[in-house]
Structure 1
Amino acid sequence: MSLSITLTVNAVPRTIALDDPRVTLLDLLRERLDLTGTKKGCDRGQCGACTVLVDGRRVNSCLALAVSLDGAEVLTIEGLAEGEVPHPVQAAFIEHDAFQCGFCTPGQIMSAVGLIREAQAGDDPERVREAMSGNLCRCGAYKGITEAVLEAQRRLAADAEEKAA
């Protein structure tokens, strides 16, 4: 039995036939849509390497069945930059050396983008660390990650103020 779902992935509408209703969003992205920036870490929702935004909210894509997301808007790391211009969170991660091996970086960045969009980051490093605690970094780059999130949030807030003025 084949099921058909429609997703908007990185602003591109896609209709996808699923042969198996048990396919996760992570496997759909990586194996069917060739969007391999989203990483498969634990495959149990414990590490956050597979974090993407679904309808603007942070989701561990390894835990989400693709069939349950029919009609959703999905944003992955590949859809974050505007052409060659990195998203402010991506730029802040580079500037603050917020990665080492880089495996967790896409999930960390997507979680940070979601956190900032949810207006949950605040300006307290401890609050950011707590809100990002679902994303693990085996290399221990947490200090740089926290600094990058705070810096990106300041930049995005300044950009929003500038546009409003």
Structure 2
Amino acid sequence: MKRNPKQVHRALFLALQADAKNYPGGIRALAEALDLNGSTLANGLNPDHDSAPPTFATIVEIILLAQAKRTMFQLCSLTGQTTMDVDMEGADLSEEGQVKHFLSLVASASACLNTGSKYLEDGKFDAFERKNLAPLLLALHQVTASLYKRFSE
């Protein structure tokens, strides 16, 4: 007997359900925005209900409308990945904007590599050094992801 995908991927559907409940007005308001029946959507999101899950297209719309970060975290974790906030506000996709963004990537990489190289002179990273490197690595990761997003649009 085939198991219900909502049971197989319970953590994902619990996250999706929580994100939908967090939508202003809850699942009913979200269902209305999606032009769906509220009870049908609520049952489809509930991993403990035997009804069929929402379609992939509906799940994508829920993610977009509800800004479903819990859901995205669970989706990414299925493939051993994680999520990260990337500032795409006012994304300048012009050639000049892309060049400036690339130069900010180079600056972030340079700061991270310079600091890391200095710390590694003794052949190890101590707690203080790791604490100082962590935000540099995160900044580098974020600017890389942001630049990749701009280049792939």
TM over 0.5: no
Structure with the larger strand share: 1
Largest Rg, 1 or 2: 2
TM-score, structure 1 as length reference: 0.27
